[in-house]
Amino acid sequence: MNTTAQHILDIEDALVSDENPPRDNGTLEYERCARLHNYLAAYGWMARNGKEAPELDLDALAAEKRFFHETNDEVDAIRDRLDAPLNKFLDLVYDPHPFFFYWVNGLEMMLIDEFFDVYNEMEDKERFVVIYDLISELGSYCLGVVYDQQLNRALFPMTIDNMDNVEPVKEHDEMWSPLETIFTYWIYMFQIGKVVPGLPYNELPSCDPLMSRSQFDLWSWLPYGDTQINSTIAAIERYLATVECRMPPGSLLPISAPLFTSVELDAAAVLQDCFIRLLLLQVKTPCFKFIASGLEVPYDKEAFARNQGFTSIYREEDSVLGVLLFAALNQLVDFNTEICRLFSIAYKGTCMSNREPVPAGLYSEPVRRGNYDMEKACFRLVLPFAFRPDFWRDEEGTRRFIHATLSA
């Protein structure tokens, strides 16, 4: 395998895409996976050593301790339990320890068949292996990247509790992916600036916008990036164009301005420097009255400001408040336990239990910026009717919150 600096950092031809799909022959594509692994290991190594891409010193990187670099009885015992392609993968990769990626500490190779109640057709080998373990800050019940040596597919359960969602294995095939697909997801988050290697907090000035992030040692998780804003705007505009082209001639409203101005968002107490504000300032106003069935386009800016049930109440400094984007037509939702649980994440220390009913509709995601899994580029659809009673002991019933991004 080519190990020049240029080959390691020029990774586009190894990423999974529609034009370059993952292998489908039931084996581990170990050379491709090793390239993807080494790409992340190289950028992490450069960040730790204060180097830029042109300065990548492969000799120095290769001189660092390799995983399973010494032959001894303990190493041999583990390698004997791994199939040949997985061992070849280990022979080709740089040891990333510590802090391979956000959440991910390093190579582990822990045999975990005891967590699975499934038949193992492999002779003298465990079927399931944790390839990468997670950082200790996430707790003692974490797993990591689990690899199935029988099916040659992997998944990423964060904790042991998540295993309930992937067993029995035959009934959850959609949860298991080729290993190169998981690497591609990680590299994509790195390339769009969602997860980046950076300086520790104590080396950043207090006014630096990167302070608004979650960081585990080397890697930071940013609340959003320019790519997410641009892709979400593009997705919305594709949707608007699709609707408009199907409307009767002459029925479109003569509107061409952005959906909101800064003055209008200030009146609604929408925070500065957050994903939803930047989105609303740039997306164009729809030329029709309803963005979807029952959800009104906010042409009346005063009504938009009045409908905001959460933006003006007290919040913690690192909180981003939920903004009602498209209100359901004349539909209110009682402020029940589930809604309180959802929105109170951004209002720690604030009593929300006695608030008045709030409008149903599409809300932006309320988050605390320091949370390790926070994501500003998400939305919640609060429905004006219950799906089933006594959900999480909520006697008022539950309303399904559809949690999604628009940039997919």
- pLDDT surpassing 70 at residue 203: no
Q: Label residue 41 exposed, middle or buried (CB < 10 Å: 0-12, 13-18, 19+).
A: buried
The pTM of this model reads: 0.79
Pairwise CA distance, residues 158 & 126, whole Å? 21
pLDDT tens by residue, 215-257: 777 888 887 888 889 999 999 999 999 999 999 988 999 888 8
- Enumerate the domain spans of the chain: 5-202, 225-404
Pairwise CA distance, residues 335 & 395, whole Å? 12
- pLDDT surpassing 80 at residue 324: yes
- pLDDT surpassing 70 at residue 161: no
- pLDDT surpassing 80 at residue 327: yes
Pairwise CA distance, residues 8 & 58, whole Å? 10
pLDDT tens by residue, 276-303: 999 999 999 999 999 998 899 999 999 9
Q: What b/e string do you get for 183-221 counting C-beta neighbours within 10 Å, with b at 16 or more? A: bbebbebbebebbbbbeeeeeeeeeeeeebbbbbebbbb
Computed on alpha carbons and rounded to an integer, the radius of gyration of the chain in Å comes to: 25
User: What is the reported pLDDT for 401?
Assistant: 42
- The top-scoring range by mean pLDDT among 155-169, 174-188, 213-227 is 174-188
Q: Which residues contact 300 (CB under 8 A, 6 or more apart)?
A: none
User: What is the reported pLDDT for 394?
Assistant: 45
Candidates 375, 372, 360; CA nearest to 232 is 375
- pLDDT surpassing 60 at residue 350: no
Task: Give start and end residues of each alpha helix (H) in 245-297.
Answer: 262-267, 275-282
State the virtual CA torsion across 236, 239, 240, 241 in degrees, nearest 10. Answer: 120
327: its two tokens: 């209100």
Q: Which residues contact 303 (CB under 8 A, 6 or more apart)?
A: none
288: its two tokens: 């029709």
Candidates 10, 198, 6, 8; CA nearest to 94 is 8
pLDDT tens by residue, 7-64: 899 999 999 999 999 987 788 999 999 999 999 999 988 888 888 888 888 888 887 7
Q: Confidence band (pLDDT; 50, 70, 90) for 392?
A: very low
| Element (DSSP H or E) covering residue 333 | strand 324-333
Mean pLDDT of the chain: 81
Q: Which residue has the higher pLDDT, 76 or 188?
A: 188
Pairwise CA distance, residues 313 & 335, whole Å? 15
